[in-house]
Amino acid sequence: MMTRWRTVGTVCLLLLAFVSEARAEIVDRILAVVGDRVLTWSAVRAEASYDAFLSGQPPTPQDLTELDGRANLRVVLSRMVDQALLEQERQLYSFQPPGNGETERRLQEIQNRFSDLESYQGALMRYGLKESQLSERLQRENNLMAFIQMRLRPQVQLDPGQVESYYKDVLVPELSRQGQSEIPALEQVRDQIEQLLIQQEVDRLLEQWIRQLRSRAKIKMFL
């Protein structure tokens, strides 16, 4: 009798292992292939959890079917495709990643949002994140942004008239609309306006660059 129950127990364990393996395959199903890079459900969900944590949104649902109906999943997946294309492009260039100073600053900034360390660690747990994962994700993001600036910033040349036009046509009317009594002189805000306009142009060039990369890449979507 004991032998029989052991046999039954062994069969049950094998069945449970099979079911667990099947569930793992479902959870980690492939959502996209970008060149030689595979984007899985678990990777997309981790990215969505990272976004939700930083923006203060509710944690990402565990159940795939709950998230499938939300446009958020496609937005996250599309951005990950763009990131994969840029990462592949980065490998073609001699690029020295920045140090971890900016990552540490951003990590400290995130921690400061919470009243104490326990609250911070509890929030990480609710979102299924570890601090090491958060730090690594921030560093990857900083590396990619530095690469984008290296590639695109030299292409941006501002016309002096653009700064004056933005000041006169955008900034002054907006400050007046807000009821600000003292409008700063152009020279007081020139540097800030220049940086804003430069970043706007970098963003425009980035969108154009990503469209070009997508048109040349082999991308398969399974969502």
Question: Tokens 């590396």 correspond to what residue?
Answer: 143
Cβ density class 84-101: b for 16+ within 10 Å, e for less: bbbbebbeeeeeeeeeee
Whether the model pTM is above 0.85: no
**What are the sequence ranges of the domains in the chain?**
33-155
Let me know if 145 is exposed, middle or buried by CB neighbors in 10 A (0-12, 13-18, 19+).
Answer: middle
Beta strands in 50-140 (DSSP E): none
CB under 8 Å to 153, separation ≥6 — which residues? 198, 202
From first to last of its 223 residues, the chain has per-residue pLDDT tens of 544 444 444 444 444 443 344 444 445 789 999 999 999 988 998 999 999 999 998 887 766 555 554 567 888 999 999 999 999 999 998 888 888 899 999 999 999 999 999 999 999 999 999 999 999 999 999 999 999 999 999 999 999 899 999 999 999 999 999 988 899 999 999 999 999 999 999 999 999 999 999 999 999 998 7
With contact defined as beta carbons under 8 Å apart, do 101 and 68 qualify?
Answer: no
Here the contacts of 50-54 (C-beta below 8 Å, separation 24 or greater) are 50/127, 50/129, 50/134, 50/137, 51/76, 52/127, 53/123, 53/124, 53/127, 53/129, 53/134, 54/110
Stretch (H or E) spanning 193: helix 186-216
